Amino acid sequence: MKSLRSKNYKKEFVNTFPGDDSGNLQPRQTPGVLYSKAIPTPVEKVTLLAWSHELANELGIQEPTEQQEVDILGGNYVADTMYPYAACYAGHQFGNWAGQLGDGRAITLGEWETATGKTVELQLKGAGPTAYSRRADGRAVLRSSVREYLMSEAMHYLGVPTTRALSLVATGEPVLRDMFYNGNAAYEPGAIVMRVAPSFLRFGNFEMLNARKDTENLKQLVNWTIDRHYPHIQGEDRVLTWFTEVVERTASLMVEWQRVGFVHGVMNTDNMSILGLTIDYGPYSFVDDFDPDFTPNTTDLPGRRYAFGKQPSIGYWNLGCLAAALLPLAEKDKLIAALDTYKDVYWRKYYQMMGNKLGLDKVTNEDTELITQFEQTLAAVKPDMTMFFQMLTDLPLFVQSTQEVEDHFKDSLYNDLTQEESAQLFSLITNYLERLNKNTITRQASQELMRKTSPRFILRNYLLHQAIEELEKGENQLFLKLQEAMKEPYSDKFDEFFQTRPEWASQKAGCSMLSCSS
């Protein structure tokens, strides 16, 4: 185990690519460079609120025991071998080209190499302005920082590819935020998260270089990314082979989001990881009542571009933007062919995932029709997604009436069912049980498959909101309990949280809808 202060950090990215070493934090365009040096802006007092012991042990990082080490987590101290920088990238935001964006409130401190030779980047979110902050202050509030810290770790324990969070600190300084961009700005307590990932490269890094017709650096970045993060890819067509794997990873990630009911909320191309990770936790949410049109992001209204049911198609659209950025390095027809593999990969993995959630031994063509019936019925009835699939696991193998089915699922329902909805649910369950009785695996094996695929505990927005309100009052009991519960999402150990969203949370700000500043 090594301390954050004494580690000899690697700087392969900044040593490989051109950057602006001036340290000038004035917002500006930075043509010709892939990053700009950005020393974190000190805060009043860095106080450690949370530390991810499991991640720290995995990386060989010693828990801070001295204030100077804690100060690293808040940007008040920079170790000698660190080179803090903000990355330059572009992106399509809500379907429109936005030009240069970049790390406006994220500063990468350095690359930490583990004892096994694995390298990860350590990045502070909320540590002050950078050259890419535009009109913003580069800070983050406790509200958004708690959400990122807890959710990135929760997704890891759910088995969803994600960036991680090592620490959460308070800054002792207020930050002015207009939560819903409606003119009601207010001061909130400041906080900073230390994020961890093998790389924070996004589709937008490649889009930026292509937009600037910087083909040489584009080629170098692609080759560097392959060598460092896809070393198994060799041969003359390595760019196409690599892009095809990015397509596969992105499709797989979309399936995982649909599996657990996660809605990212702002799937711009600058928020799409080149490694197929969930990245940039802002106005996200889990689905409560099953609704393909649900979006938690106020900025996404009324179009609902990034709604739950649209995420897979947006993943494909975003990959199309990445393919366009790679046109100087590969033939157009081959890039299109590679992009088109997305649909086959997604549907194959999606149907397999749904087969697992339903406890099927295998998925046949007839089963895809049953899965479609599940989707249509759930969208009509709108039960709590998490609770419904848990109750489906314990469904009796024989049911005889609509009332019997409705009674079994009643705790997952937000509203009384109409006669038509009740009949629709009964028809679905009847068809499902007929299929289940044809399984070649035992009932126990079927149920084990279902329990491994569908979580029992999720970090619902109202729970996060309650934990944040408590922390703002100096209390952390719920925050600590959620930290423990998120580590065992498939267990019934924390069934005190196994309930539908309370009625009061349906309209409360921060519980039902959030903004990009969340």
Q: With CA atoms as reference, report the closest residue to 188 among 265, 126, 131, 123.
A: 126
Note if 333 is an active site residue. no
Q: What is the edge-to-edge ordering of all strands in the sheet holding 106-113? A: 35-37, 85-87, 106-113, 119-125, 186-197, 164-177, 47-51
The answer to whether 71 and 46 are in contact (CB under 8 A) is yes
Tell me how far the alpha carbon of residue 233 is from its chain's centroid: 26
Residues near 43 by beta carbon (within 8 Å), at least 6 away in sequence = 74, 75, 76, 171, 172, 173, 190, 192
Give the integer Cα–Cα distance in Å for 396 and 231. 49
Sign of the CA dihedral with 426 first, then 432, 437, and 441 last: negative
Q: Which of 20, 103, 270, 288 is catalytic?
A: 270
Q: Alpha helix (H) ranges present in 332-401?
A: 332-339, 341-357, 365-381, 385-393
Closest alpha carbon to 358 in 275, 439, 242: 439
Residue 193 parent element (H or E): strand 186-197
Q: How far is CA 83 from CA 26, 27, 56, in A?
A: 18, 19, 21
H or E stretch at 92: strand 90-93
119-125 and 106-113 beta bridge pairing: antiparallel
Tokens of 411: 């705790």
Residue 15 CB neighbours (<10 A):
9
How wide is the angle at C-alpha 149 spanned by C-alphas 146 and 155, nearest 5°? 125
108, amino acid identity: T
Distance CA 171, CA 191 (A): 5
Cα–Cα distance list, 204 to 67, 210, 324 (Å):
37, 10, 11
* Pairing mode, strands 262-263 and 186-197: unpaired
What one-letter code names the amino acid at 168? Answer: L
Question: Does residue 454 sit in helix, strand or coil?
Answer: coil
So which residues are the catalytic ones? 270
